[in-house]
Structure 1
Amino acid sequence: LKPVWRQRACPPRPRQRPRPLRAGHARPMHAPEDDLCLFVQYPNREPVLRELPKPQSVAEVREALEVFDDQQLLVDDPQTKSQCSLVETVDQLYDGACLRITVPR
């Protein structure tokens, strides 16, 4: 008799080739390569994962994330992850970036 932990009720699944990691996180399996995966934190909320088609402008990002004109869109620094800067160009966004939406006081 084989030990219980060695018996398999189902045949083993075939191994899938691992996808490369990008920007410090694993890409969701259903996200196409031309999409951008962002962690977005709305005011007084927990961060949520949003997948967007690669934007051409900051206005497209604001519209897709439903950011109002009086709110600021901040992105974490990719090296330090502790500092934020105002999103002024699309080049500041990267796959796996953490965005914060804030209301200036």
Structure 2
Amino acid sequence: MHYSTTTLWNKAMRLAELVCRSVAGLPAEERYGMRLQLTRASVSVASNIAEGWTRESKRERRQFLSMAHGSLSELHTQLILCERVHWLPAAALLEPLRLIDEISRMLTVLRRKARER
């Protein structure tokens, strides 16, 4: 299966948009806590994909894909926690969680391919 970096980046950007909009629903006292963590992690996914693909060395590209995957896992955990403590409704997380799953699968495939080269 072949994934283009553009497709992956576009999905990551869509995820970041959804998260940035969703955090408005968090309690005001979480402005510098969970809200900031969610925003940073979501932006980091797309940013690391973009930065990795501009690097010339394969090793650096693999490193940035790995960082994107780590940020994605961090974001996933934070969103689930927000649902568990009732800061965000489950319905609002359906699309973000679907995208997280899809992006994670894409990153796994790309990271495996990068190791084979």
Structure with larger Rg: 1
TM-score between both structures, scaled by the size of structure 2: 0.24
Structure with more strand by fraction: 1
Structure with more helix by fraction: 2
TM-score between both structures, scaled by the size of structure 1: 0.26
